[in-house]
Structure 1
Amino acid sequence: MSHGKQFTLFTHSQTPNGTKVAIVLNILGLSYEPRYLNWQAGEIKGPEHTKYNPNGRIPTLIDHKNNDFVVWESDAILLYLVVRYDTEHKIFVATPDERASVVQWLFFQASGQGPYFGQAAWFASYHPEKIPSAIERYRKEVRRILGVLESVLDKQDWLVGGKMTVADLSFVTWNNNVGRFFEDGDFDFEKEFSKTNKWHKKMIALDGVKAAYRAMAEQANIAAKAE
């Protein structure tokens, strides 16, 4: 494995969780080499990946400037990056109370948004049979999660500390896909959750976010041509 860049990021060309790590790496100005794993070929569960991540899921990050330290689980990676490398608190916070609030939101994203949005996507688009009750359940959960965010963002611009932090950024990639979980016309992000939509748009306009999506799209095109 080449160590020309500080990090190696095991990811996939169409993954919200891998993309959010790329976003934070970009915003912090940290260099990384993406390793795009082939889902269909079993590389994500293969030995070259599971020797670093026994769970066989993506993303996985290796920090070559910290003795090849390995971190997996996307929000654990985000927390590692800001604690260790965001010394100027560009997207992190300084006080113990604020740090606890950041961790709180990362836990909410990992236990709430990620799983429920993922299941909404699965039952809407990938499950071999349509199960209306499952589709309805997870669409309701998507709206519930967005409602939690809306209730907070109705009173403040950002989740913690009066500024954009890694807590906010952790929600970007799943929220960017939210319309795909519904039938056309069944969901209007801006109308139903106006403050959350405004918050989301501010983040997707960032250069570091745009760069992560460009890289993902380029890799998806490469993968499509190789098929």
Structure 2
Amino acid sequence: MSLKPITLWGHDSGPNAWKVAMILEELNVPYTHKMIDFPDMKKQPYESINPNGRVPAIEDPNTGITLWETGAIIEYLVETYDKQHTISFAIGTKEYFEAKQWMYYEVSGQGPYFGQAVWFTVYHPEKLPGVIDRYVNEIGRVSGVLDRFLKDKEFLVGGKFSYADAAFVTWYAVVPLFGDKIHLEKDFPVLNAWLERTKARPAIAKILQDREAAMKAK
């Protein structure tokens, strides 16, 4: 049975919808990526899709499900469309729960700290060195956890690429914003090598190229 395209709502520069796009590409699930500007996220008709007024959100005509929150969307996609467990793991196994563990670490430990570091470095009208240092230091802490864990490992869970690895990629694109404060290749070489392996996958590379093109076209 052929699938109808899923509608993915995103923004050209925001990292989270691009994570979802990576999963859709990896699973070869058809989708339409609709871009929405920040002001339009906070009003109808988009608020009827996501009452939180942020992206991503998906509308799946194959199941009738509308969903928001990145981690929830990714879990939904792999449990609905990855029956062969190409980028996920059989329900109830050790690896199944470990992948969830890393996903939750990403949405609670990476995204908020990286996002606040970007906000206070680039967008906040008043420069607050102590606050900037606080969040940039957290980028280093989160990266250190990954660097240590990945020693002698190719990927995070089960010795294979999974959605857990993909979830971390897009936020690392912000690291150049912090200049000399963060050096991935020098300070976190294991992490850096893992990111390069992950970004070399055709589906991941395609989405990174799509994101760059969308940002340039803005």
In the superposition, the TM-score normalised over structure 2's length comes to 0.94
- Relative to 1, partners in 2 of residues 1:76 and 1:204: Cα closer, same or farther, differing over 3 Å? same
Tell me the CA shift for residue 157 of structure 1.
Answer: 1.6
Query: What value does the CA root-mean-square deviation take over the aligned residues?
Result: 1.4
Q: How many residues align?
A: 215
2:109 corresponds to 1:122: no
2:77 corresponds to 1:81: yes
Alpha-carbon distance between aligned partners in 1 of 2:4 and 2:212, rounded to the nearest angstrom: 21
Tell me the CA shift for residue 100 of structure 1.
Answer: 1.0
User: CA contact under 8 A between 2:26 and 2:203: conserved in structure 1?
Assistant: yes
2:218 corresponds to 1:219: no
Alpha-carbon distance between aligned partners in 1 of 2:101 and 2:11, rounded to the nearest angstrom: 27
Alignment map for 1:1-227 (pairs within 5 Å): 5-39=4-38, 42-67=39-64, 69-94=65-90, 96=92, 97-180=94-177, 182-183=178-179, 185-223=180-218
Gaps of 5+ in 2: none
Paired residue secondary structure (1:17): helix
Q: Which letter maps to 2:216? A: N
User: CA contact under 8 A between 2:199 and 2:205: conserved in structure 1?
Assistant: yes
Gaps of 5+ in 1: none
Tell me the CA shift for residue 5 of structure 1.
Answer: 4.3
Tell me the CA shift for residue 82 of structure 1.
Answer: 0.5
Q: Which letter maps to 1:217? A: E
Tell me the CA shift for residue 95 of structure 1.
Answer: 5.1
In the superposition, the TM-score normalised over structure 1's length comes to 0.90
Alpha-carbon distance between aligned partners in 1 of 2:175 and 2:136, rounded to the nearest angstrom: 10
Alpha-carbon distance between aligned partners in 2 of 1:222 and 1:139, rounded to the nearest angstrom: 29
Paired residue secondary structure (2:13): coil
Alpha-carbon distance between aligned partners in 2 of 1:193 and 1:219, rounded to the nearest angstrom: 29
Alpha-carbon distance between aligned partners in 2 of 1:168 and 1:10, rounded to the nearest angstrom: 22
Alpha-carbon distance between aligned partners in 2 of 1:5 and 1:189, rounded to the nearest angstrom: 40
Alpha-carbon distance between aligned partners in 2 of 1:222 and 1:16, rounded to the nearest angstrom: 16
Q: Which letter maps to 1:176? A: A
Instruction: Give identity over the alignment, percent.
Output: 38
Tell me the CA shift for residue 219 of structure 1.
Answer: 2.7
4+ residue stretches of structure 1 with deviation over 6 A?
Answer: none
